[in-house]
């Protein structure tokens, strides 16, 4: 039987999602727990990989089990044996051809920046930037990033192509925490963190809002922005 599971995790406890031989990762812990439940090796496929330190509220995974178990009972069993930094939100049965990554229609990420006083308590869960940004200019710049484009200037690593669509970028400031929400078709390696890094440069007034479009058009990081730290990033939702 093929199952889809929606999970959340504290990324500060892991070396990312993808399984690594000598490090604790989300995929590794999931496979260990499911193999124990199934009494036979289980391989987990994720809707995407999150880097070390990145958190998730709704990461999606699929896997196959040999045992006869209901989604409700599976959720309970998984949560009873999983590492305490991972929690299963729900499970559901899927057809055998379903794939958690290939059938994704939309992803939502949030990035949190503390513009106020340094707070060590939230250091693993927010970018302690600790100084003001020109949010109005950042909002203006974000409009240039919307639509279907090649985002090569904002992606790390080599790919066959860098094309995808960003449907919306929203910013909200609440009690010194700036939350930037990205909704798009798909996001490639470091893409959200790179976009945030470029927007921060705009907010610092080191570059003009139009500069993010120049980088988009030239497909190159011509203004030498730095990618934002991992701990401020959250995978919020995945839709099929």
- Do 184 and 214 meet the contact criterion of CB atoms below 8 Å apart? no
Q: Out of 10, 51, 176, 237, pick the active-site residue.
A: 51
Neighbours of 23 (CB within 10 A): 12
Q: Residue 116 is encoded by which pair of tokens? A: 């106020």
* Gap between the Cα atoms of 106 and 166, Å rounded: 9
Residue 23 neighbours by CB under 8 Å, 6+ apart: 15
Determine whether 22 is exposed, middle or buried from the number of CB atoms within 10 Å of its CB (0-12, 13-18, 19+). exposed
Biggest CA-to-CA distance, the chain: 59
Give 117-143 pLDDT, tens digit per residue: 999 999 999 999 999 999 999 999 999
Give 76-101 pLDDT, tens digit per residue: 999 999 999 999 999 999 999 999 99
b/e 109-129 (16+ beta carbons within 10 angstroms → b): bbbbbbbeeeeeeeeebbbbb
Pairing outcome for strands 163-174 and 2-9: unpaired
pLDDT of residue 46: 96
Q: What is the 3-state secondary structure (H, E, C) of 185-233?
A: CCCCCCHHHHHHHHHHHHHCCCCCCHHHHHHHHHCCCCCCCCCCCHHHE
Provide the residue-wise pLDDT of the chain in tens; the chain has 240 residues. 999 999 999 999 999 999 998 999 999 999 999 999 999 999 999 999 999 999 999 999 999 999 999 999 999 999 999 999 999 999 999 999 999 999 999 999 999 999 999 999 999 999 999 999 999 999 999 999 999 999 999 999 999 999 999 999 999 999 999 999 999 999 999 999 999 999 999 999 999 999 999 999 999 999 999 999 999 999 999 999
Active site residue 51: yes
Domain annotation for the chain: domains and CATH numbers:
2-94 (3.30.70.580), 106-239 (3.30.70.660)
* Gap between the Cα atoms of 128 and 92, Å rounded: 38
Give 179-188 pLDDT, tens digit per residue: 999 999 999 9
Give the bridge partners for 165, in sequence order: 148
For the CA atoms of 157, 212, 123, 106, the dihedral, rounded to the nearest 10 degrees, stands at -70
145 DSSP assignment: T
* Gap between the Cα atoms of 50 and 52, Å rounded: 7
How far is residue 193 CA from its own chain's centroid? 9
Determine whether 189 is exposed, middle or buried from the number of CB atoms within 10 Å of its CB (0-12, 13-18, 19+). middle
- Find the DSSP H helices in the chain: 26-38, 71-81, 135-143, 191-203, 210-218
Mean pLDDT of the chain: 97
């Amino acid at each position: 039987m093929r199952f889809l599971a929606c999970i959340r995790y504290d990324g500060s406890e892991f070396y990312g999602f993808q399984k690594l031989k000598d490090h604790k990762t989300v995929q590794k812990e999931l496979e260990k727990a499911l193999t124990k439940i199934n009494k036979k090796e289980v391989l987990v496929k994720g809707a995407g990989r999150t880097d070390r330190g990145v958190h998730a509220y709704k990461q999606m995974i699929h896997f196959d089990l040999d045992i006869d178990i209901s989604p409700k009972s599976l959720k309970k069993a998984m949560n009873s044996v999983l590492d305490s930094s991972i929690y299963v939100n729900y499970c559901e049965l899927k057809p055998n051809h379903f794939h958690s990554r290939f059938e994704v229609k939309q992803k939502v990420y949030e990035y949190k920046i503390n513009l106020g006083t340094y707070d060590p308590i939230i250091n693993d869960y927010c970018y302690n930037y600790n100084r003001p940004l020109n949010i109005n200019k950042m909002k203006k710049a974000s409009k240039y990033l919307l639509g279907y484009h090649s985002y090569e200037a904002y992606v790390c690593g080599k790919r066959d192509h860098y094309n995808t669509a960003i449907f919306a970028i929203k910013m909200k400031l609440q009690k010194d925490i700036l939350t930037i929400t990205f909704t798009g078709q798909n996001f490639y390696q470091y893409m959200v963190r790179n976009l945030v890094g470029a927007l921060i440069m705009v907010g610092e007034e080191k570059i003009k809002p139009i500069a993010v479009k120049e980088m988009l058009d030239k497909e190159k990081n011509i203004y030498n922005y730095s990618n934002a730290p991992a701990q401020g990033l959250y995978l919020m939702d995945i839709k099929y």
